[in-house]
Structure 1
Amino acid sequence: MEFKTNQSVGDVVPNWTARANPSTKPEYNILHGQYCRLELFTPTTSSTAIQQLYDAFKPTEQTHFTYLYYGPFETVNEFAQFLHTLLEPSNNTVVYFIIVNEIAVGFITYLRVNENHGSIEIGHVNFSQQLARTRQATEASFLLMQYAFDSLGYRRVEWTCDPLNRKSYRASLRLGFQYEGTWLKMGICKGRSADLSWFSIVDDEWPHVKYEIQRWLNPTNFDTSGQQLTTLNSAQTNPRNKKTTDSNQ
């Protein structure tokens, strides 16, 4: 559509078509990384994997679910029911189990999937105690980012969290997401008021972020005991970060 109204409008997006939902590509039901793999959760996923997840979260359940609108779960059946609820079409959520050494140790999802406009959120990031702060955890997020941008052609990947959830807040920046603002009193979580901070990476920023994460994940970046030799802070390599910094000077 051509605009002739002398009004400011956004850039033309040539030949745009709606993007596929991640769950509709069976060739990507398993996303393979160097250190972990992601397996699509479906109604036929084994009860063994669900039990592994339940057991993985149990030791830290009192603190793990503080900023989430669900959990902790008293029984594995209650946990399984919650996971299956996420698959209901109204929730618009695609769930992946994170597998390390053939054991499910976390789960991560796409949500707010907007195929028509090419935006998608990474959320429900649940890393168990043995997964948190490991290269496998970083790679799990990276695999979803890579799938969304490189395979499905989405234009925007989002991350949201309660700003009081400092672990999630810092993780988003470390992965290259840029802070966009906080919506006040967005929800009520377990009887308490909850704000919601928004972060994003867009498609023209992705190559810079991808390069930095791949550099960090390279096996040569870790010593013989598995400790990192250099840190990851992809937000600094995101071109938008430089624009923001320059505009504030």
Structure 2
Amino acid sequence: MTDTLNWKPATTPKGDPIHGRFIRLEKLDPARHGDELWEALQGPAADPALWDYLPYGPFAERAAFDHWLEGHAAGCDPLCYTVIDRLGGQAQGILSLMSIVPQHGRIEIGHVAFGAAMQRTPKGTEAVYLLGKLAFELGNRRLEWKCNNANARSKRAAERFGFVYEGVFRKHLVVKGHNRDTAWYSITDDEWPAVAVGFERWLSEENQQPTGQVQTLEACRRD
């Protein structure tokens, strides 16, 4: 358990590249990543449900998509990363560190948009692991995940990744003209070591075989 009397504020993330086994995370750069992200997130093979619970999109025109990317790339909160497939080198999705509060050691993973090529592969799981690892290496006490309470897919992902459910903020936001009740999840610094071991076991060569996973992420965390 963190001794809050001796705790010092966390370091702010800078957006340096992060290398994993299946992916590489790079700070979002619309000039370098835009064409491939447009294809991955809005092209003919894109996930039709991708934008259902996000506060933006879908984008009928490339100009609007580029404007959205440029807005996300311009700031440092959210700090957006592009997910690059290490095997083929293509940009296949984005996610961010956001709600960054170094003085309290609080940070969130959000703005998650994974293309169809990332789904049902280890790549999305590794992206979340790499940002979680960075968050706690920077000295944060708390990593958050928030989503629309109606978004069953995101809630299931949070639980699978090892986030602890904390409750629902009712009538929290208005998104695309609809009420959003927001489900809150977190991992704390004292919980992270066990969660990280589960991620590492699941991502290992022993567990990720050419035919698929040997054990689920939940099983790797329990063991």
Alignment-mate amino acid for residue 92 of structure 1? D
Alignment-mate amino acid for residue 178 of structure 1? V
Aligned partners of 2:22 and 2:221: how far apart in 1?
25
User: Of residues 89, 106, 114 in structure 2, which corresponds to 1:127?
Assistant: 114
Alignment-mate amino acid for residue 49 of structure 1? H
CA change 1:87–1:15 in 2 (3 A) is: farther
Shift of 1:46: 5.2
* Aligned partners of 1:40 and 1:96 also within 8 Å: yes
SS in 2 for 1:121: strand
Query: Where does the alignment leave 5 or more consecutive residues of structure 1 unmatched?
Result: 1-10, 238-249
Alignment-mate amino acid for residue 104 of structure 1? A
User: Does 2:201 align with 1:210?
Assistant: no
Aligned partners of 2:154 and 2:219: how far apart in 1?
15
Query: Where does the alignment leave 5 or more consecutive residues of structure 2 unmatched?
Result: none
Structure whose CA Rg is larger? 1
Q: Kindly, what percent of the aligned residue pairs are identical?
A: 36
Q: What CA deviation, in whole Å up to 9, does each residue of 1:25-64 have, x standing for no partner?
A: xxx61000001010012xxx25241110011112336421
User: Of residues 9, 27, 39 in structure 2, which corresponds to 1:18?
Assistant: 9
Mapping of residues 1-249 of structure 1, within 5 Å: 12-23=3-14, 29-41=16-28, 45=29, 47-58=31-42, 59=44, 60=46, 62-89=48-75, 92-100=77-85, 101-150=88-137, 152-225=138-211, 227-233=212-218, 237=222
CA change 1:234–1:107 in 2 (3 A) is: farther
* Aligned partners of 1:178 and 1:235 also within 8 Å: no
Shift of 1:86: 2.5
Between Structure 1 and Structure 2, which shows a larger proportion of helix residues?
Answer: 1
TM-score under structure 2 length normalisation: 0.91
Shift of 1:16: 2.7
Shift of 1:235: 10
* Aligned partners of 1:176 and 1:234 also within 8 Å: no
Q: What CA deviation, in whole Å up to 9, does each residue of 1:181-214 have, x standing for no partner?
A: 0011111222221110000000010010000110
* Aligned partners of 2:198 and 2:221 also within 8 Å: no
Aligned partners of 1:198 and 1:87: how far apart in 2?
25
* Aligned partners of 1:159 and 1:200 also within 8 Å: yes
Shift of 1:234: 7.2
**Between Structure 1 and Structure 2, how many residues are aligned?**
219
Between Structure 1 and Structure 2, which shows a larger proportion of strand residues?
Answer: 2
Aligned partners of 2:37 and 2:192: how far apart in 1?
31
- Structure with greater contact order relative to length (CA < 8 Å, sep ≥ 6): 2
Superposed CA RMSD in Å reads: 2.2
TM-score under structure 1 length normalisation: 0.81
Aligned partners of 1:235 and 1:155: how far apart in 2?
23
Alignment-mate amino acid for residue 10 of structure 2? R
